Chain A
């Protein structure tokens, strides 16, 4: 019976990556013309699911059926031909080309025996598709001149050209204004009335409840439930998204009363608005929030990597305005960046050289580097941190991610900074090294360092933090401490809700 009424049936999809089960036996169904939410925390497996549907990834087990028929697309092109279209979060178009050229990219309308592209026919056809979606878009215009919302509509037009039966949208509103969202919602309803099924991935609960009829919730790669949104509350959905067992690691606080860092009204004029908080001596402050909520951006402002346009940073009572990371470092702030390869290591240089970069003068006398002294200190430092293999003369690029991370942390210990900012410190690091990094962070706090840990993994935040600060859409949504710190409260602060969002807007001017 089910096969008759379902447009799309996902049957027991599993997909593993080295060391992780991204999806485990996930099944759900989407009806014709249904707008179906796909929900879950970061890392719950939503992206993997979309990539499997679009045939970017091959599932290890399981399959999909469209209108009851099993399809096995071997490539994204096959998936499109089978009727599944993807609208990516990062829109994928060629900037220099026109709207029509982008719509017909890869399958141009031809003339003159297939030798030439029939631009006029393309534009006419594009115009007729767009007339239904947004008549204000001129198919002849270069696509980069359009607003993001309009570019998105062009992608939808592209999907319709393929006669897509299912359109999967990954965070489609991440760069849309509220009124643009209303237009998109209207368009989605129109498409669904025409019988097109939509899979809608979003973190924004209000949108999901406005647009979707049902939603499937994933957690840690597993299917939790498919719920009817008319019969469910936002809180219930959030609860089933996060309801994970809390790891019972005993956390010991080393926080003292002394305020080391005071951030007041900090903003960058783009993403971060009015960030204010305090960090104490020996404290570990967890920074939670969704991907894109501005956590990394805030850390970069404090570390002097990006320039703040407003607000102040006060360290032990003296105010600073950093123009470069170098200035922040001399004020005692070091950042362990999320993207280690891009922002952390100089791959071809030795571990010792990488460690010494911020404090070359400490390892030099009369303008010359004291190599033996540097090697000795670096070796000692890395022995404490259990660098494997314990050779500081080896190029850092030849070490595993966890060992590279140890060296980057060692860099700030050598530079003797007081405030350490960790941005996703265990991303891409295996389990063993992970707990070593945790121990290290705790040891540093015990030594009186003040620490901020940005993490998307709530267990990590809970394990390490004395207090937890939560960011939402570029603002600090709240700070939790003591027994208030739990996954539900963090998630409630992190996830933009219709109620809290509107209440905040009205609260702002006050």
Chain B
């Protein structure tokens, strides 16, 4: 029995060595799923695989990807962050209020980021110090931050976002939309954090076995709080991107973002039990969801059926995940 598991593990290691270093076996599976979806749509619709549409998909996916990356870190640590949508909204509102008040743009951007991170800090402290469950704390945050955004704005969007900011977000770098570049750079940074820094190891250890990690000297509370701060900060980045595109900060922004983000992370291989997850996988997961929506829209499929397809994709992805993991 040990022999067979040995050979399987060796096979897995062998196969891994054929792939680039930053993609593991699980990510290769996600990539395969994405390729399948792309091929199906490419056959069904000639417009789908054109360069403008591909950039369009990436741009549409970038906001969810940004949120989902933060969610991935939280999920790996063994938690969940349901408050990302409202945290995004309150960050957008704060940023817009600062911009319209004539505060220099960089300061306003930092203000927005700080607001999101503060939301995360609040979540994280309640979870790490008060010992409350992440699901409940961030469910509370979901209402709390939304309410604050609505109260602050009286429920009305804030217009008058500076044109230079809007131009920046809607611009491109060597043909690639700026939001895609931003999220790409963030993903690169986060990949390094997760795979190359002690903090990354701490997150994986805390999510894998919190008590063992504590006994091994991992700063558990600090690690757990930091992932929520990251999640809040990334929610703010997503909010700024959307704000730049819309030209307004809407306090109702980000409704149900948490669910898309969880879906992308889970499709990408993050385990809601904690201890597992991948930056590359989550990016691919976000692009899978984005491609699906884009492709179905191109084919004039009703929104109701798009929802149906999304649900099916998530469940199928999880079934495949379960079946393949059972072997390891």
Which residues of A approach B to under 8 Å, CB–CB? 303, 305, 324-326, 329-330, 335, 337, 342-349, 353-354, 356-361, 364, 367-369, 371, 389, 393-395, 398, 400, 411, 415
In the complex, the answer to whether A346 meets B275 with C-beta atoms within 8 Å is yes
Q: C-beta contact mask, B217-248 vs A, less than 8 Å → 1, else 0? A: 11100000000000000000000000000000
Check if B316 is an interface residue, CB within 8 A of chain A. Answer: no
Bound complex: CA of A394 vs CA of B275, how far in Å?
16
10 A–B pairs (Cβ distance < 8 Å), ordered by A: A326-B218, A344-B212, A345-B209, A357-B202, A358-B216, A361-B198, A364-B198, A369-B198, A394-B9, A395-B9
Which residue of B9, B201, B275, B276 has the most chain A CB atoms within 10 A of its CB atom? B201
Contact status of A349 and B208, CB under 8 A, knowing A360-B198, A367-B197: yes
Contact with A along B49-85 (1 / 0, CB 8 A): 0000000000000000000000000000000000000
Q: Is B211 an interface residue (CB 8 A)?
A: yes
Whether B6 lies near A357 (C-beta < 8 A) is: no
Residues B216 and A325 in contact, CB atoms below 8 Å apart: yes
Q: For B211, list chain A residues within 8 Å (CB).
A: 342-343
Inter-chain contact B13/A368, CB cutoff 8 Å: no
B196 to chain A, nearest CB (A): 5
User: With A329-B217, A343-B215, A353-B201 in contact, is A398–B5 under 8 Å at CB?
Assistant: yes
With A357-B217, A360-B201, A369-B201 known to touch, is A346 a contact of B212 (CB < 8 Å)? yes
Question: Is there a chain A Cβ closer than 8 Å to B280's Cβ?
Answer: no
**Residues on the A chain within 8 Å of B204, using CB:** 346, 348-349, 353
Q: Which of B192, B217, B276 contacts A326 (CB 8 A)?
A: B217
Give bound CA distance, A206 to B208, whole Å: 46
Q: Which one of A335, A357, A368 contacts B213 once the chains associate, using CB atoms below 8 Å?
A: A357
* B205 interface contact, C-beta 8 A: yes
Chain B binding site: helix, strand, loop or mixed by DSSP? helix
Given contacts A305-B214, A357-B218, A393-B13, 15 further A-B contacts (CB under 8 A): A326-B218, A330-B217, A344-B212, A346-B275, A348-B276, A357-B202, A357-B213, A357-B217, A359-B217, A361-B198, A369-B197, A371-B196, A394-B9, A411-B216, A415-B217
- Contact A343 B5, CB 8 Å, known A325-B217, A369-B196: no
Min distance, Cβ A251 to any Cβ of chain B, angstroms: 29
CA distance A369 to B215 in the complex (A): 21
Q: Least Cβ distance of A301 to chain B in Å?
A: 13
Cβ-defined partner of B215 (8 Å) among A335, A348, A353, A368: A335
Output the residue of B2, B5, B208 with the most chain A CB within 10 A: B208
Q: Point out the residues of chain A lying under 8 angstroms from B197, CB to CB.
A: 364, 367-369
Contact of A346 among B192, B198, B200, B209 (CB under 8 A): B209
Which residue on B lies nearest to A400, using beta carbons?
Answer: B2
Select from chain B the residue with minimum beta-carbon distance to A367.
B197
- Bound Cα distance from A395 to B16, whole angstroms: 14
Task: Using known A-B contacts A349-B208, A394-B9, determine if residue A326 contacts B201 with beta carbons closer than 8 Å.
Answer: no
A-B residue pairs, 5 tightest by C-beta:
A360-B198, A358-B217, A357-B216, A346-B208, A329-B217
Query: What residue of chain A has the Cβ atom nearest to residue B192's Cβ?
Result: A368
The smallest beta-carbon distance between A373 and chain B, in angstroms, is: 13
CA distance A400 to B197 in the complex (A): 28
Q: Which residues of A have CB within 8 Å of B217?
A: 325-326, 329-330, 357-359, 415
Would you call B201 and A347 a contact (CB within 8 A)?
no
Contacting A357 at CB < 8 Å: which of B9, B196, B205? B205
